[in-house]
Amino acid sequence: MSFYDCILEKVRYFLKNWKKQYLILFLGGVLLYLPFSTHFLTNPDTLWNGLLYKDEYGWETGLGRWGLEILAQLKGYTISPAAVTIFSILMLSIICMLVCRLFNIESSFLIILIGIFIIASPNVANTLTYYYCADFYIIAYFLNVLAIYIAYRHKGLVSWFIPVLAIAFSLTLYQAYISIAIVLSEFLLVKMLLDVEMKERQILLKVIKLMIVGGAGTAIYLLLTRWQARRGILWLVVDRGFSEMGNIDFSELPGQIVNCYAEFINYYFRNGFLNNNWLHRKYWNLFLLLTLIIFGIILLWQNRKQFRWFRLFLLILAGMLLPVGCYIMLIIAPKVSLYESTGILLIPAMNYVYILWLMLAWRIKGKYSMFLARKCIVPLGSAMVGGILLLFVAVFQSCMQNNLMRTYAVATTVIQELDAVTEGTQDYPIMISGDVDLGNEELYSIVKGTVAHYGMAWSDINGRNGCWQAIFEIYFGREYTVCSREECEQIMAGTIYQEMPAYPNEGYVKRIGDSVVVKLGES
């Protein structure tokens, strides 16, 4: 059977046997993220860059994501938040099915669980607020899963050629999704090692193939990117380290690897990145970790006669490399900070640890052990973690809605004051200082580390002015110009600005020189 006949057969099998689970995941995902489709809940980046139309991807190109411009041209640079959200969920549902097929998971119960872990992840919730590129990012996600799927499950030249191109193009859209390919490869290594019927030589050949595919795809991307940079076609950003992608400083590598482990622990068990105290999430993560270790020990014991030192070594190595795979961006672009607004987008593979937990539990044999794992521990742990993830997405969207309502309410009064000060004209450049009081700090502590926590405007001078300029244009049809950074710094250094009251006190909007200043709070 040829590769193409095999693909058609897979499609027919999928439509015949998995259409029910697929529809449940897709429709469930659409309902889960319905506010994104109906209310256009967005973040400051999307407001600033374009909520409905974006024809300039210069900044993204500077980050090495020059493939975004190509896909944007194909859809005429237009942005439809509802269409982007629905399309992204459609792709995520397909990704879930590919992952399940990759690990031979056919149980409806497990498919739905894996769908929750993939679709309801904090990374996906944040990604979907970037309407101008969310669909492109999810395509990058899909390409990495597809690359590993084809490379692992198929043979022949096509099984090398397509995965290499898929990984190379995915990197032109968003580099962080290479972690998905790495983590899936590590999981496949665990799966092969636990398959006692699979010979060591077969395992090595599969591992080498996956490594070559990933390495070749990455090399093609880096070569094309650097060639464009040398020709002056694109200018890579220096301050975030993207101009040095692929240049590994081996003297710093040990520290970077240690940082991967530290951040991995921080993500699941501490509060430095996410709020793991909420709903006792860190204790449920600890519960899953302990049972994951126990499942591994049980499986080793059950297969002890076939498990030689070679398999044991590779199994330990796969487990040790998991944090590095999840946080590979800390090595690829070490100057990028996880604690900036887009930090959570750099680690899309974190929820896959829950999938490993399910995969190991379902390989346990023996009447008592199997019953305990599949009927007690897995349903309990999955129900709690899945429920926390679903609630997190709900809280995330509530905060996003609150951001919109609070900001819109403040903007309405600001427009009235601007009209009074400028006599209804839009000829004066404006400057906005301070942030909108979003209230409910306890609620916002739940979405710590996400874009929902930032409101609808960035806190730096240019970012805040750019976001407010977009708010006035999109929601009120006012096309104000904004002051430059130098003008803002000069105004804020003056006595008149320093003596101005802040919103909502009378006088928070004032004309200073040739500009109009809106003081929402201290900068």
pLDDT digits 0-9 by tens, 391-400 = 999 999 999 9
Of the segments 6-10, 138-142, 299-303, 420-424, which one has the largest average pLDDT value? 138-142
Q: Running DSSP on this structure, what letter comes out for residue 520?
A: S
- Fill in the amino acid letter for 460: D
Identify the pLDDT of residue 17: 62
Q: Running DSSP on this structure, what letter comes out for residue 508?
A: S
Whether residue 182 is predicted with pLDDT greater than 90 in this model: the reply is yes
Residues 6 or more apart whose Cβ sits within 8 Å of residue 83: none
Identify the pLDDT of residue 232: 84
- Fill in the amino acid letter for 37: S
Identify the pLDDT of residue 18: 66
Identify the pLDDT of residue 14: 65
Residues 6 or more apart whose Cβ sits within 8 Å of residue 98: 145, 146, 149
Consecutive H or E run containing 510: strand 509-512
| DSSP-based three-state secondary structure for 78 | strand
Q: State the pairing for strand pair 515-519/430-433.
A: parallel
- Domain ranges, ordered by start, for the chain: 3-365, 398-519
In 3D, which of 126, 125, 133 has the Cα closest to residue 67? 133
Whether residue 11 is predicted with pLDDT greater than 80 in this model: the reply is no
Residue 361: other Cβ atoms inside 10 A: 24
Residues 6 or more apart whose Cβ sits within 8 Å of residue 506: none
Residue 355 and residue 389 in contact, taking contact as beta carbons nearer than 8 Å:
no
Helix runs in 327-351, H state only: 329-332
Mean pLDDT is lowest, of 29-33, 332-336, 430-434, 497-501, for 332-336
| DSSP-based three-state secondary structure for 430 | strand
Residue 88 — very low, low, confident or very high, per pLDDT cuts 50/70/90?
very high
More confident residue, 243 or 133: 133
Consecutive H or E run containing 516: strand 515-519
C-alpha span between 519 and 517 (Å, rounded): 6
Consecutive H or E run containing 9: helix 3-17
Q: Running DSSP on this structure, what letter comes out for residue 246?
A: T
Residue 284 — very low, low, confident or very high, per pLDDT cuts 50/70/90?
very high
Mean of the pLDDT values across residues 398-408?
96
Whether residue 239 is predicted with pLDDT greater than 70 in this model: the reply is no
C-alpha span between 33 and 311 (Å, rounded): 42
Helix runs in 438-506, H state only: 441-446, 461-476, 485-492, 495-499
Question: What number of H helices and E strands is found in the chain?
Answer: 24, 3
Single pTM value for the model: 0.94
Consecutive H or E run containing 511: strand 509-512
Taken as a whole, the chain contains a residue count of: 523
More confident residue, 8 or 516: 516
Identify the pLDDT of residue 309: 84
Beta strands across the sheet bearing 509-512: 430-433, 515-519, 509-512
Whether residue 261 is predicted with pLDDT greater than 80 in this model: the reply is yes
Mean pLDDT is lowest, of 172-176, 267-271, 287-291, 518-522, for 518-522
Please give the C-alpha separations between residue 181 and each of 56, 105, 138, in angstroms, as whole numbers. Answer: 29, 18, 14
C-alpha span between 258 and 334 (Å, rounded): 12
pLDDT tens digits, one per residue of 106-140: 888 999 999 999 999 999 999 999 999 999 999 99
**For the chain, what is the mean pLDDT?**
92
Please give the C-alpha separations between residue 133 and each of 45, 69, 88, 89, 129, in angstroms, as whole numbers. Answer: 11, 10, 10, 14, 9
CB-based burial, 370-382: b 16+ in 10 Å, e otherwise = eebbbeebbeebb
C-alpha span between 213 and 28 (Å, rounded): 34
Whether residue 246 is predicted with pLDDT greater than 80 in this model: the reply is no
Residue 35: other Cβ atoms inside 10 A: 18
C-alpha span between 228 and 221 (Å, rounded): 11
Residue 415 and residue 500 in contact, taking contact as beta carbons nearer than 8 Å:
no
C-alpha span between 127 and 138 (Å, rounded): 8
C-alpha span between 503 and 497 (Å, rounded): 13
pLDDT tens digits, one per residue of 450-495: 999 989 999 889 999 999 999 999 999 999 999 999 999 999 999 9
Identify the pLDDT of residue 385: 96
More confident residue, 198 or 1: 198
From first CA to last CA, the distance across the chain in angstroms is 66
- Fill in the amino acid letter for 467: C
Residue 403 — very low, low, confident or very high, per pLDDT cuts 50/70/90?
very high
Whether residue 207 is predicted with pLDDT greater than 80 in this model: the reply is yes
Residue 189 structure tokens: 């290594």
In 3D, which of 210, 170, 172, 156 has the Cα closest to residue 188? 210
Q: Running DSSP on this structure, what letter comes out for residue 439?
A: -
User: 158-173 and 200-230 helices cross at what angle (nearest 10)?
Assistant: 50
- Fill in the amino acid letter for 119: I
Mean pLDDT is lowest, of 149-153, 235-239, 290-294, 377-381, for 235-239
Mean of the pLDDT values across residues 265-277?
94
Q: Running DSSP on this structure, what letter comes out for residue 515?
A: E
Q: Running DSSP on this structure, what letter comes out for residue 454?
A: G
Residue 277 and residue 257 in contact, taking contact as beta carbons nearer than 8 Å:
no
